[in-house]
Structure 1
Amino acid sequence: MDFCALDFETATHERNSACELGICIVQNSEIIETKTWLIKPPSFPYFHPRNIDVHGILPSDVKDAPTFADIWYEVKDMMYGTLMIAHNASFDAGVLRGCLDYYGMYTPKLNYLCSIQLAKKSWNYLPKYGLKHLAEYHNIKFKHHRAGDDAEVCARISLLAFEKLILTSNDEVSDYMKQKIKIL
């Protein structure tokens, strides 16, 4: 199983306002790397207070950070040719698309899957499917709403779901989840 789990935090309600990105790379069903970038969003120095309340990232934290355009080529290389998984994937895919559009960059053809959909197929008896609730259910400790931690927990939950569903390859995931896999 090869995939990357991705998570964004944003400065405002705008989809291009990424202020943090985390990516967790999984190869052969093993987590091999988690990387996090603070990002200076186009809205800098403005951050909506509600967003700060969620993630705790302040404008001063990103004042010397690269823009999304500055990190995209490294990010793209990490994601190239693999399935992208995110928790509430429509949000993260929207932020990725919003950032690429804002900087006038080519949007690659990426297949993505929402780990909420995986969790619902794997543990259909749970009352809630938020990342925090799934992490608690699986005794995974993390700092919620920080992109690197959220991406890694998404990867861990996805691996547990694949194990429960007895899915051992990307092809099996594609067949089993074909109605749920979207294209960026």
Structure 2
Amino acid sequence: MLDFCAIDFETATHERNSACEMGICVVENGEIVETKTWLIKPPSFPYFHPRNIDVHGITPEDVQDSPTFEDIWHEAENLMYGNLMIAHNAGFDAGVLRGCLDYYGFFKPKLNYLCSISLAKKSWKNLPKYGLKSLAEQHQISFNHHRAGDDAEVCAKISLLAFQKLMLTRNDEVRDVLKKNLKVL
């Protein structure tokens, strides 16, 4: 049984606590069961760095009536509870999650996380690029890049394909085979 959640953040600034969008894709028994996206009003509001807006297209106006990370965390945590977390470039997303949890004084869940880039490199050797967009194109998956829900769902789909290629069908197998790649939040 493969159970995990894929997560993605978009940020308003270079600050790790500046999440302005969060996406979580929940996988149960190797199937995507839910993808949830939240626009978030970051602590920097109304300031967004222009470079960040250029990447994801989310503006202060888009989030002015949105909840803060503090307001959505319990709902998000329930989707993630007890799961393996996977993210594309996981160091960034885990850092944003840690930054938001620290900023609002929340306890960090004991989550193992895995980077889908290292998973893809293990599964498909010698690809020219391992970015989310390149991997999606390689597997004929279309999506709205740099939007958190879409990115999280594509990360989940790529991870499922990688697990299939590595013939990993259960979380304990993932832990055994990829233990060097697993990190703790």
Shared fold, TM over 0.5: yes
Equivalent residue, structure 1, for 2:119:
118
Equivalent residue, structure 2, for 1:57:
58
1:85-144 Cα offsets, whole Å, 9 max, x none, are 000000000000000000111111110000001100000120110000000000000000
C-alpha distance in 2 between matches for 1:149 and 1:122: 22
> What letter corresponds to residue 162 of structure 2 in structure 1?
A
Q: Matched residue pairs, number?
A: 184
Do residues 163 (structure 1) and 164 (structure 2) align?
yes
Do residues 101 (structure 1) and 89 (structure 2) align?
no
Unpaired runs of 5+ residues, structure 2, are: none
C-alpha distance in 1 between matches for 2:107 and 2:170: 29
* SS of the residue 2:164 aligns to: helix
> What letter corresponds to residue 50 of structure 2 in structure 1?
P
TM-score by length of 1: 1.00
Equivalent residue, structure 1, for 2:83:
82
> What letter corresponds to residue 91 of structure 1 in structure 2?
F
* SS of the residue 1:69 aligns to: helix
C-alpha distance in 2 between matches for 1:121 and 1:104: 36
How much is the aligned-residue C-alpha RMSD, in angstroms? 0.4
Residue 83 of structure 1, CA deviation = 0.1
C-alpha distance in 1 between matches for 2:22 and 2:111: 17
Unpaired runs of 5+ residues, structure 1, are: none
TM-score by length of 2: 0.99
* SS of the residue 1:159 aligns to: helix
Q: Sequence identity of aligned pairs in percent?
A: 78
Residues 140-179 of structure 1: matches in 2 within 5 Å? 140-179=141-180
C-alpha distance in 2 between matches for 1:44 and 1:73: 21
